[in-house]
Chains A and B, each alone.
Chain A
Amino acid sequence: MMFASPWVLFALAALPLLWWLLRVTPPSPRIERFPAIRLLFGLVAQAETPARTPWWLLALRCLAAGLVILGLARPVLDAGAQLPGSGAVLLVIDDGWAAARDWPRRMLAANTALDRAERTGRPVALLATAAAETATPPRATAAMPAADLRPLVEALRPKPWNPDRAAAATAAAASTASSVVAISDGLTGGPAWTPYATALAALGPVEELRGEDIPARLLLPPKSEADGLVVRVAQAPQPLDGEAAIRAVSADGRTLARMVLKIPAGTGAAEGPMKLPPELRNRLARLVLDGPATAAGVVLLDERWRRRPVGLIAGDATTAATPLTGQLFYLRRALEPFTELREAEIPALLAREISVIVLADRVVPDGPERDMLADWVAKGGLLIRFAGPRTAEHPDTLLPVKMLDGDRQLGGAMSWSQPAGLAAFQPGTPFAGLAVPEEVRVTRQVLAAPALRLTEATWARLADGTPLVTQATRGAGRVVLFHVTANADWSDLPLSGLFVDMLRRLVDLANGVSGSEDASAERLAPVETLDGFGQPGAPPGAAMALTNAELTAAIAGPRSPPGTYGPETARRVLNLANHMAAPEAAPPIPGASQTPLGGVPPERALAPWLLAAALALLAIDLLISLRLRGLLRPAAAMLALALLTNPAAAQSLQLSAESNPARATRLAYMNTGDPQVDDIVRAGLTGLSDYVNRRTAAYLADPAAVTPGQDDLSLYPLIYWAITPDADSLPPAAVAALNLFMANGGIILIDTRNGGSGAGFADGAEAALERAGRGLAIPVLAQLTQAHVLARSFYLLGEFPGRFAGDPVWVQRDQDRSNDSVSPVIIGGHDWASAWAVDAQGRNPYATIPGGARQRVLAYRFGVNIVMYALTGNYKGDQVHVPALLQRLGE
């Protein structure tokens, strides 16, 4: 501790004088009204001892005066550390991506350094090591008083790119400062670290501050796999095992999935599969690393990571799957790694969202099927067709070009010609840039009728110029025809790697990426870029429009900040981790004194606190003086004091009354022991309670967590029980409490959270349900149908979806009159709580699967029905008798 104005402390010498002055002045007398005053007249106190102010009051006043003097001397706590060296100080702040993880701490450290410099009157120069948004390389400011530099430091923000060590080294070498305070992000940030460290060390004594406790993590772009993504995280190797949680987030900010990656000690990278249903994967917009918000923790995903379901239909279903000869055999092998395949008839395929349909020698005769397919293509579908004997014989109308009758055979016994190879792909076609293997030979093909625009419609041709792949746009969609079969009967093409690449390019086409990836010279303007904290915003002024090729090769920097580029239809993203070297821990700066960031408490000025304490003491003194003079009632004084010191005290009584569960109807949920699940369920029940309060006359208070056997369950009409896969069996007391609850008319809603479209989300929940439900008096169950009261207790419902849909829901089969025919248990797996959940912003944080606003509305309606069922029993069930009653009345 030190004093900024130590000369004020001389005033402390005057305290004894104050003591003496206060002592000789008698306190002013108390004033009392007294009826019998007449009897007091003339009475004189016999021993006239001088009336004195009590010693403790004197001490109080002297203490207050002492505090005022101390406060005016401006003491500063924790100001022990001094800046290194003497003369001008160079304050070096790393403001690259790695600094964002603990930016406030770095700002605090910078301010502390400025405080110290200000106190000792040393000028400070600032050097931020990352290039500014204006693409100017790092430059040291002129040395100036710390107070003038403060606004510049306050204005610093972390940048979503690497620090420019080389330029920083040059800037440091040019500096005239004689000592250095470096707030380092702990990473080398490139090969130029050594010259940079040398340049700093050359200036004079260096103090280096590092925050080692939070590792700087870099979320790498994921790899696409058949059933999901492989998520990758990189960091400088740490001595301890770490964990990184990664969330998959949709474009509207909802979490689609979350996974935790273990990063073993000593390794710099970890990866793990993130399983996502195809529907969810298509809605995936970004991956976000949980923890401090940084640009390095956000990976934006564009069309290249999306999966589109592909439908396969063979002309001859019976032989389609035959190994090596079947029509779909090669197609499956080629498409499976990067798409989701579905095989069904046309109506079934079109019933679900599908982006590509492949017809392998399948003729679509005119009729409703053909119309459906044509409609779908016109709306943007991509129809890929393969020729074959059937198509050759009966060409239909869904072909890109007009066919000549029959087919053409090359190199057969009756032919002079040799089997033809492929010509190189023309630029401007989707296949441009693919290498053409020599060994591919086409022995047989169907022929397009010569037409004016045949050349434009051709994407691939044989060496002799015959079209091999033709295409035509139909509405918003496209029809592509391979003039050969999808198996090896007519050509070697399906056997080559080219086949896979061609199909991939075509399926990419369905994603909206038009033209070839690299060939287009069109520049894509930045649309939205990330700042250092990973928040999207307007692109900085220096950001340039880039071509596809440049984007692919770009490293994040002020000219190419991470973010999204290009028009709506052809969005491309540039990620911070693009081409970035793995993070590498930086060795300490030679000769620098090392200080952990945040390890030194920031210095604190004590003056305001001392003055406040003196004021408080003087206020107490005033109260005591008033009391001594009889002008204050003690009870009133205590009340005033209590209200001043604790304004919340008055509310506490009300609050405790509010939390009494018996004072309001509320839903309850079981404590599962998994805080994440508990949070979801609580948010879900809160959302449902709000919905019920808005839509019905029922009023539900905030939901409560219960532990059966400990809490009184009789206060709750409904208990939501989410079964976690690791749920253990219940203790006997809990089982007894739940059985009593059910016997007395309570309802338990059991949710395994993996039903229907959510299959695979919580593996093992069925086994867990069996474990956890052991001992419970579950009645004989039956499927919940539309005829059940639960389907009509408030809304008329035909299905009962939650976050997932499609699985049956189970209720008691037999009607138990003693319990008002109310089923004591409702069992399902639709994860209703997630569908009901509402976050602090009033949004629904969990996406519904398969999705749509309708599913969420239905989920809420089912929730309302359950609440009504729990609150009113089966009285709506009487409506089933209405027709019979009306009939009887008619008779």
Chain B
Amino acid sequence: MSHSARHAEALGARLPPLLVTAERVAATVAQGVHGRRRVGQGDSFWQYRPFLPGDAVNRIDWRQSARSDRAFVRETEWEAAQTVALWRDGGETMRWKKAGPVEKAERAELLLLALAALLLRGGERVRLIGTEGRPVSGLDRLASLLGQMNDPGGVPPEAPLPRHAQVVLIGDFLAPLETIQAAVGRLAAIPTRGHLLQVLDPAEALLPYEGRVRFEGVRREAATLISRVESVRDAYAARLAAQQDGLQAICRAAGWGFSVHRTDHPAEAALLGLYMALAPQVGRR
């Protein structure tokens, strides 16, 4: 098991398995372990009911029927598994740290894997946006897929997701709001529900530089010389707040959740936030 997977598992082990609410589950949803308290397709026994004309003969439970004069049909509980699609920004802007203990990408991967561990323990189907193929059921496989994932970063790529899937996006979301809105809108139109977590380095949140600094983009795309950084700190904070407000608005419009995490804060707090966002809320149903 890879190091990050092990770390994530340890992190997730402190929370109970996560059962994602699957609302409005359609027949297209793959079968899973969520007992729907209704008769349906599944493996768990639900009830016996008397044989009715029209039932297929091969559905008669002969053992039960032999106990009496009547024939019984065995019915199983309708179970459904929810698909949760995860994505983290693996771009160059994420591979950076200044004031925080770890790179943003590392923290994002940790959170993603921890969340996946919780989901897998809950029996959910987890898949990664940006990789081909089927949902995965093992944390190891997920970690190795994560390693192979080739992501230019910025916004999640288009992906054929099942309807009513849950989506969790983790990244720094410093791209222009329009591109983010387009991406979220695309996902929300499937339709999906989801959550967007912005991971920031403390240096990005606070701009702790002083004096004459020439800032260069991580991708060396452009540069700007600021003669006294401390004098623009407030303006920067306002711009960052505007970006976060924009993200919040985008999410609200799509019916998604939004939260911010700084890498110098404990990962557990962010994981708990995600857990709360995904878990079935008491009283909401």
Footprint of B on A, CB under 8 Å?
26-27, 29-41, 43-49, 51
Contact = CB atoms under 8 A, between A and B. Distances in A.
A43 B230 CA distance: 12
B224 interface: yes
B224 A29 contact: no
Contact of A30 (B203, B211, B231, B235): B211
16 contacts: A31-B214, A32-B213, A33-B96, A34-B203, A35-B92, A35-B93, A35-B218, A36-B174, A37-B218, A37-B223, A38-B217, A41-B222, A43-B224, A47-B228, A49-B227, A51-B212
Interface string B86-98: 0000001110100
B49 interface: no
A509 B224 CA distance: 107
Given A35-B96, A36-B204, A49-B228, A43 B236 contact: yes
B217 A37 contact: yes
Nearest to A51: B212
Interface in B191-223: 201, 203-204, 209, 211-218, 221-223
Nearest to B97: A35
A30 B232 contact: no
Nearest to B233: A43
Contacts of B224: 37, 40-41, 43
B162 to A, nearest CB: 33
B216 A33 contact: yes
Nearest to A43: B232
B36 interface: no
B211 A34 contact: no
A51 B229 CA distance: 11
A20 to B, nearest CB: 20
B96 A45 contact: no
B232 A26 contact: no
B229 to A, nearest CB: 8
Contacts of A41: 222, 224
A40 B216 contact: no
B75 interface: no
A43 B216 contact: no
B236 A40 contact: yes
B226 A35 contact: no
A47 B235 CA distance: 13
B88 to A, nearest CB: 15
B131 interface: no
B236 A30 contact: no
A32 B216 contact: yes
Nearest to A44: B232
Top 8 closest pairs, chain A to chain B, by CB = A35-B93, A51-B212, A45-B228, A43-B232, A29-B212, A37-B217, A29-B214, A45-B231
A48 B203 CA distance: 23
B205 to A, nearest CB: 9
B231 A46 contact: yes
Contacts of B226: 40, 43-45
Given A35-B92, A37-B217, A44-B232, 12 more contacts: A29-B225, A32-B213, A36-B204, A38-B174, A39-B174, A39-B240, A43-B226, A43-B232, A45-B232, A48-B227, A49-B227, A51-B227
Interface string B72-108: 0000000000000000000011101000000010000
Contacts of A30: 209, 211-214
Contacts of B204: 34-36
Contacts, number: 97
B172 interface: yes
Contact of B228 (A32, A36, A39, A48): A48
A26 B213 CA distance: 12
B93 to A, nearest CB: 4
Contacts of B203: 34
Contacts of A48: 227-228
B21 interface: no
B232 A46 contact: yes
Nearest to A47: B231
Given A36-B204, A45-B226, A29 B218 contact: no
Nearest to A630: B213
B96 A39 contact: no
Nearest to A49: B228
B215 A37 contact: yes
A29 B223 CA distance: 12
B239 interface: yes
B174 A45 contact: no
Contacts of A33: 96, 215-218
Given A41-B224, A47-B228, A48-B227, A35 B214 contact: no
B16 interface: no
A43 to B, nearest CB: 4
Contacts of B157: none
Contacts of A45: 226-229, 231-232
Contacts of B175: 38
A673 to B, nearest CB: 60
B206 to A, nearest CB: 11
Given A32-B209, A33-B218, A34-B215, A40 B232 contact: yes
A35 B200 CA distance: 10
A303 to B, nearest CB: 88
B103 to A, nearest CB: 11
A33 B96 CA distance: 9
B215 A40 contact: yes
B153 to A, nearest CB: 10
A633 to B, nearest CB: 13
B152 interface: no
Nearest to B216: A33
Contacts of B243: 39
A46 B213 CA distance: 15
A35 B226 CA distance: 15
Contacts of B138: none
Nearest to A50: B227
A39 B226 CA distance: 13
A44 B225 CA distance: 9
Contacts of B94: 35
Nearest to B238: A39
Contacts of A44: 226, 232
B194 to A, nearest CB: 23
Contacts of B104: 35
Contacts of B176: 38
A40 to B, nearest CB: 6
A37 B212 CA distance: 15
